[in-house]
Structure 1
Amino acid sequence: MRTPTLRISKHFSFILLVPVFCMISLICSGQTRPVSSDNPLRSRLDSLVDKSVQRYFQDKKAVGLSIALVQRGKPHFYNYGETRAGNGQRPDKTTIYEIGSMTKSFTGIILAQAILDKKIAPEDDIRKYLKGTFPNLSYKGTPIRIKDLANHTSRITRIFPNMWERPTYDSLNPLSNYSRALLYEGLHQMKMDTLPGKIYSYSNMAVALLGTILEDAYGKDYFSLLTKNILKPYQMRDTRIDIASLPADRVAWPHGAQRQVVPLWDLGEVPAMGALRSTTADLVNYINANNAETNPAIKLSHQRTFGTEQDGMALNWFIHSTPKGYRVLEHGGGTGGSRSSLDCFPQLNAGLVILANSLANRNDLEKALIAVLAE
């Protein structure tokens, strides 16, 4: 899963209703590769997006791409490429992609709700919520606090060695069958190296642990908590963990470095760190909910707990500011064959989503689209 950047370390149409299928030819490793697109190329925004996407597809690893831009509350959707290399099927705003660590922002909102419900206190020693004894989870008498798990200052190792040391370890699906028991075994074996709460160091294991604490606090599984507090209220009907029941043509299948299909990741017992799959249509609703901040839990999840307003952390949200001083709340994700980016601009009622089913580098694309929204 990608570590989000943190500098504290961070055409025409028929009757204007039915867009005609269009193609863009892009130079890729000396060859011309046609890329399907539904971009109508009518507005300045359409052209700016297309120009940036053409640069993105110069990366020979690129396969499919879905983008949503929100400007003053209005969504704009753009889709390019294929849901599976060679299948000729272009994604759309309801195509489901892995979103990886973007899931952590959802976990931050659930934590905020637990704080409001007085199930958990952010300053609590995490051992209050763990079964058994963990004398190793403090440094010189200073314990790891709940909020340290959500702002990546806990000093918990990014990935526990017992993930890859297992006989059943699969490098293409590394967390498959990684259980709660293994998570806690790794936690027992960990050694603190400095004071928690002082140094940013991205940790998947910390957020996985936070997810189990939230499940125990409510006596409900992670997805049930998401459904009640986020997915149902904001009509995110296609955001899910389990996609086994869906037809194959609903999914943007992940691809490796040679544009070969690779497995979707299975994070069965540690979902809070990155198990969600979603669509640009659903994530536009998520952007609007986060920009509005009318939900007290969402608003609380945006409050800074580490760093500065220019480069800091809230509850699993990265905080930045644009050159013009606009606040940005963001989180991205990466799995074995998918990449995602989410940026919210509350002051502008704007935001963006990038979902990709390949390992092509989308960082320049994200920067270019942020510049368009924040100009």
Structure 2
Amino acid sequence: MTKIILPLLFIPIFCFGQDQNSPNKIVIESLIEHYNSGDYKSIFSMFSKEMKDALPMDKTSEFLTNINSEVGKIKDKEFIRNENERYASYKTKFEKAYLTINISLDKNKKINGLFIKPYVDEIFSKNAINNLSSKDDLISVVQKDLIFEKAKFFPDETQISIALIDNGKLSYYGLKRHNDSISTFNNYQSIFEIGSITKIFTSNLLARTVISNQINLKDDINDYLDLKFKDDRKISFKSLANHSSGLPRLPSNFDSEKLDTVNSVKVRHILIPYKGSFESSPDIVESKMAAKKTADSILSILDIKRDEFKTLVRLSADKKVSNEYGEIEFTYFDGFAPRFRDFSFENAVGSIDVVETVFGFHIIEILSKAENKKVVNIRNLDEDPYKYYDQKDLNNYIENLLHIEEDLKGNYLYSNLGFGILGYTLAKIYDLSYEQLFQEYIFLKYNMQSTTFKINMLNKVLVSGLDGQGNEVSNWNFSVLAPAGGILSNVEDLAKYVINQFDDSNEEFKLMRKKTIKVDNQFDIGLGWHIVNSSESKDKLYVHSGATGGYTSSMLVDLKNQIGVVILSNVSAFNPSQNNIELLSYDLIENLREKYPKP
């Protein structure tokens, strides 16, 4: 929902040239084992004296705990190379992202340097072909080059949709990467998840409620909810909208086990991998096109005679998950590839087709389905983490688990939980669902006809979200925390909202932009808006970004010059170059500012 900030560490003390055959191999394997088991003391014991001094046990535990909460456990690793003869570098697959782990050892084989950072696949940028067009005066040549330089790091099927607002002039520009060619693409009406930009609209509703004298910003939400807050903790509307309530980013029961009885499906499949497909054998030389042709030919045979499945299953590369007949029985929550899972659950018994996943091409036949077959933890759904956190869970948190960081109360501490509670409280005040509330007082008011919380209500094409490697992922369903990040929209609608920011008679917008707390010398916070104070002038930027499992977004507004930038994309929050979307929005608005005199 928001930009994922990985805690990065690099503390080199002594450095020696090493390779994969050195003790480094043993060390990385031990480190992974201890990390996955949560045994951070054992990792600390692997440090050199200098490393321990630089990163004491409490800091080591905090550092590794933060990484685990952001990207999960380590699933696999791949030795890449020695970096400048200083440390060994590993491409490391975590549950939610790929990171690079660099390690150096001292002469006693103790860790004296550790560097963890997002893994950037250089092949994307090296192979990118610039086919962007600057004709029709949609963008300038400079803007086109700015866009390409940031977009070239993203994988195939990436889409970026841009709206530029320049003192009354509105222009749209879109691109799509396909077969490494980055080309102009018309997608200004296409729908993306906007993530935490949703918080701006939740803050807008708050401002409306204040302006209409229904509440005061300093009022406590406790007085508007029929809930008994744990320890009678008081929380103001204002503190929720400027992230100063002391509430954590997410509630403590967000990942708690939640058991339920769920349906299961039984299928049989034949997997045809190709060279480069995930977990494919090194001896696979068949191209993707050839693998698809093979899968289609198998399907043609099975369409005529299903009994041939028993014979053809010998062609399957899957010898681990399915049994000897190619059969698998699973639930929605068992971690199967999204396309494999969705085909199996969304189609009728007897259906058969070719389905592509990261593993290759599957010929899947649905054999049977069973209701309420198995008890599972329905929170075990990393690809859609908010879906099963509901109103009952939130109420339980407020009444029994509520925790506020007293030493941080009054200071900036970003909280998705806080905005979820804010939206829930506003809905109670109006006696409407939050969807109805947004629709009536924002989307209709600003003619945002393609903006909604519900995928089934979309009237335009939804762009598929991608993970960090460019594979399609599921959309996020935010449930009770939707006011923090659940809106779907396009740049056409968001541009309308930005243009309305220039209406000096809009009291709601004025209230939202009023500084409420100071974060540092660069940032202030209004209601929802982050306010960037320019170091070179008195101009201010009002900004917000968003990121989910399959999308990244950014929105910037310059009131003085009446310019703005909106960028939506299907670049994952877990993409190592994800920050390029926000950087591009700043590059573009600075480019637009160049023709305006500085004060």
Once the 2 structures are TM-superposed, how far is the Cα of residue 160 of structure 1 from its aligned partner?
1.3
Per the alignment, residue 154 of structure 1 pairs with 245
Q: 1:65, 1:80 within 8 Å by CA — same for their partners in 2?
A: yes
Residues of 1 paired with 2:231 and 2:587: CA distance?
45
Once the 2 structures are TM-superposed, how far is the Cα of residue 47 of structure 1 from its aligned partner?
1.3
Per the alignment, residue 450 of structure 2 pairs with 238
TM-score (ref. length: structure 1): 0.85
Per the alignment, residue 40 of structure 1 pairs with 134
5+ residue gaps, structure 2: 6-121, 258-376, 595-599
The letter for the 2-side match of 1:328 is L
Per the alignment, residue 281 of structure 1 pairs with 492
Q: 1:123, 1:146 within 8 Å by CA — same for their partners in 2?
A: yes
Judged with a 3 Å threshold, the aligned counterparts in structure 2 of structure 1 residues 35 and 338 are, in CA distance, closer, same or farther, namely farther
The correspondence for 2:508, drawn from 294, 297, 308, is 297
Residues of 1 paired with 2:219 and 2:125: CA distance?
57
Residues of 1 paired with 2:471 and 2:4: CA distance?
25
For the residue of structure 1 that corresponds to 2:480, the secondary structure is: coil
Q: Which has the higher contact order (CA 8 A, sep 6+)?
A: 1
Per the alignment, residue 8 of structure 1 pairs with none
Per the alignment, residue 57 of structure 1 pairs with 151
Q: 2:427, 2:433 within 8 Å by CA — same for their partners in 1?
A: yes
5+ residue gaps, structure 1: 6-26
For the residue of structure 1 that corresponds to 2:479, the secondary structure is: coil
For the residue of structure 2 that corresponds to 1:328, the secondary structure is: strand
Judged with a 3 Å threshold, the aligned counterparts in structure 2 of structure 1 residues 335 and 85 are, in CA distance, closer, same or farther, namely farther
The letter for the 2-side match of 1:98 is E
Cα deviation 1:233-257 (Å, max 9, x = unaligned): 211101111122547x711111001
1:98-137 matches, within 5 Å, as 98-136=193-231
Q: 1:99, 1:338 within 8 Å by CA — same for their partners in 2?
A: yes
1:197-346 matches, within 5 Å, as 197-246=409-458, 250-307=461-518, 311-322=523-534, 323-346=536-559
The letter for the 2-side match of 1:162 is N
Once the 2 structures are TM-superposed, how far is the Cα of residue 205 of structure 1 from its aligned partner?
0.2
Judged with a 3 Å threshold, the aligned counterparts in structure 2 of structure 1 residues 128 and 295 are, in CA distance, closer, same or farther, namely same
Cα deviation 1:8-44 (Å, max 9, x = unaligned): xxxxxxxxxxxxxxxxxxx95465344665x434659
The letter for the 2-side match of 1:341 is S
Per the alignment, residue 367 of structure 1 pairs with 586
Once the 2 structures are TM-superposed, how far is the Cα of residue 199 of structure 1 from its aligned partner?
1.1
Judged with a 3 Å threshold, the aligned counterparts in structure 2 of structure 1 residues 178 and 293 are, in CA distance, closer, same or farther, namely farther
Cα deviation 1:64-103 (Å, max 9, x = unaligned): 10011111121111100059999x9945110001000000
Residues of 2 paired with 1:101 and 1:227: CA distance?
18
Judged with a 3 Å threshold, the aligned counterparts in structure 2 of structure 1 residues 270 and 191 are, in CA distance, closer, same or farther, namely closer
Residues of 1 paired with 2:126 and 2:467: CA distance?
20
C-alpha RMSD of matched pairs (Å): 2.7
The letter for the 1-side match of 2:563 is A
Cα deviation 1:89-139 (Å, max 9, x = unaligned): 94511000100000000000100111122222211122112223224353x
Per the alignment, residue 98 of structure 2 pairs with none
Residues of 1 paired with 2:250 and 2:129: CA distance?
39
Once the 2 structures are TM-superposed, how far is the Cα of residue 337 of structure 1 from its aligned partner?
0.9
Once the 2 structures are TM-superposed, how far is the Cα of residue 300 of structure 1 from its aligned partner?
1.5
Residues of 2 paired with 1:172 and 1:161: CA distance?
19
For the residue of structure 1 that corresponds to 2:140, the secondary structure is: helix
Q: 1:153, 1:199 within 8 Å by CA — same for their partners in 2?
A: yes
Once the 2 structures are TM-superposed, how far is the Cα of residue 292 of structure 1 from its aligned partner?
1.8
The letter for the 2-side match of 1:2 is T
Q: More deviation in 73-82 or 93-102?
A: 73-82
Alignment partner of 1:74 is 2:169: yes
Residues of 1 paired with 2:437 and 2:457: CA distance?
21
Q: 1:65, 1:357 within 8 Å by CA — same for their partners in 2?
A: yes
Cα deviation 1:311-344 (Å, max 9, x = unaligned): 2111111111233221211111000010000011
Once the 2 structures are TM-superposed, how far is the Cα of residue 164 of structure 1 from its aligned partner?
1.8
Per the alignment, residue 2 of structure 1 pairs with 2
Judged with a 3 Å threshold, the aligned counterparts in structure 2 of structure 1 residues 236 and 117 are, in CA distance, closer, same or farther, namely same
Residues of 2 paired with 1:109 and 1:358: CA distance?
27
For the residue of structure 2 that corresponds to 1:136, the secondary structure is: helix
Q: More deviation in 65-74 or 52-61?
A: 52-61
1:346-361 matches, within 5 Å, as 346-359=559-572, 360-361=577-578
For the residue of structure 2 that corresponds to 1:288, the secondary structure is: helix
Q: More deviation in 295-304 or 280-289?
A: 295-304
For the residue of structure 1 that corresponds to 2:189, the secondary structure is: coil
Judged with a 3 Å threshold, the aligned counterparts in structure 2 of structure 1 residues 267 and 29 are, in CA distance, closer, same or farther, namely closer
Judged with a 3 Å threshold, the aligned counterparts in structure 2 of structure 1 residues 52 and 89 are, in CA distance, closer, same or farther, namely closer
Residues of 1 paired with 2:418 and 2:395: CA distance?
11
Judged with a 3 Å threshold, the aligned counterparts in structure 2 of structure 1 residues 117 and 30 are, in CA distance, closer, same or farther, namely closer
Residues of 1 paired with 2:478 and 2:186: CA distance?
24
Q: More deviation in 336-345 or 217-226?
A: 217-226
Residues of 2 paired with 1:58 and 1:46: CA distance?
18
For the residue of structure 1 that corresponds to 2:532, the secondary structure is: strand
Identity rate, percent = 25
Residues of 2 paired with 1:115 and 1:331: CA distance?
22
Q: More deviation in 319-328 or 27-36?
A: 27-36
Once the 2 structures are TM-superposed, how far is the Cα of residue 184 of structure 1 from its aligned partner?
2.2
Q: 2:175, 2:185 within 8 Å by CA — same for their partners in 1?
A: yes
Cα deviation 1:277-302 (Å, max 9, x = unaligned): 11111111010112224322222122
Q: 2:125, 2:152 within 8 Å by CA — same for their partners in 1?
A: no
Q: 2:556, 2:564 within 8 Å by CA — same for their partners in 1?
A: yes
Once the 2 structures are TM-superposed, how far is the Cα of residue 372 of structure 1 from its aligned partner?
0.9
TM-score (ref. length: structure 2): 0.54
Per the alignment, residue 186 of structure 1 pairs with 397
Q: 1:265, 1:336 within 8 Å by CA — same for their partners in 2?
A: yes
Per the alignment, residue 168 of structure 1 pairs with 378
For the residue of structure 1 that corresponds to 2:429, the secondary structure is: helix
